[in-house]
A and B are shown apart, each in its own frame.
Chain A
């Protein structure tokens, strides 16, 4: 059973639009949620992260909205650029650092100029 789910599987937006990527999780013990950006042929790079005590985290054009009650979060990419075209992975972990991250299956984003 997939503990971290992402939707949509793929997303196409025009340059300048806002891309919205969704993520939901099963384990209520998860309290740390990083988003990773991965380009083809490269390893995943940490983009932005949020702790469950917050409901919003913003970093430039990237914003995470978090709803603990519904166990849902979303990543908003404002003013999307062609260089944002990549696969984005939502991950989660509990407060035990000895645990690894649990990843979703990713959302492939394509931004057309």
Chain B
């Protein structure tokens, strides 16, 4: 079955430092990968979306300079939160779209960022 793995599950970092998180789609070909941040106040915020043969598209309020994303192929993606501060806290979710099922977006368990 389609699975999305995220690592690490949880990170505590000091204010001003950075955190890198990884996402891997297993068992299917991901036609696109989306990174979301889930916080209690703002539900799911789409950070960026990358699709086959297209550049990574960042949503308003999110930039490549702050959230650089690397994806050597659409089964693996990594994102870094640079210079993390309190407002960057939340659960970072990777969603991968399964080519064979068209619309279905599968999420990983998320990487929780705690900033102290």
Contacts and interface: CB of A to CB of B under 8 A. Distances in A.
> Which secondary structure characterizes the binding site on chain B?
strand
B77 interface: no
Given A98-B32, A98-B54, A45 B107 contact: yes
B39 to A, nearest CB: 11
Given A98-B49, A98-B57, A99-B49, A46 B105 contact: yes
Interface residues of B, number: 26
Contacts of B34: 100-101
A82 interface: no
Given A34-B105, A46-B105, A46-B106, A97 B32 contact: yes
Given A89-B43, A104-B43, A105-B43, A46 B32 contact: no
B6 interface: yes
Interface string B78-101: 000000000000010101010000
A44 B93 contact: yes
A43 B109 contact: yes
Interface residues of A, number: 23
A42 interface: yes
Contact of B51 (A46, A49, A98): A98
Given A34-B103, A97-B97, A100-B34, A43 B6 contact: yes
Nearest to A4: B43
23 contacts: A34-B104, A34-B105, A36-B107, A42-B109, A43-B109, A45-B107, A46-B104, A46-B106, A49-B104, A89-B43, A89-B44, A97-B51, A97-B97, A97-B103, A98-B54, A100-B49, A101-B44, A101-B46, A102-B46, A103-B43, A103-B44, A104-B43, A106-B43
Interface of B: 4, 6, 31-32, 34, 36, 43-44, 46, 49, 51, 54, 57, 59, 91, 93, 95, 97, 103-110
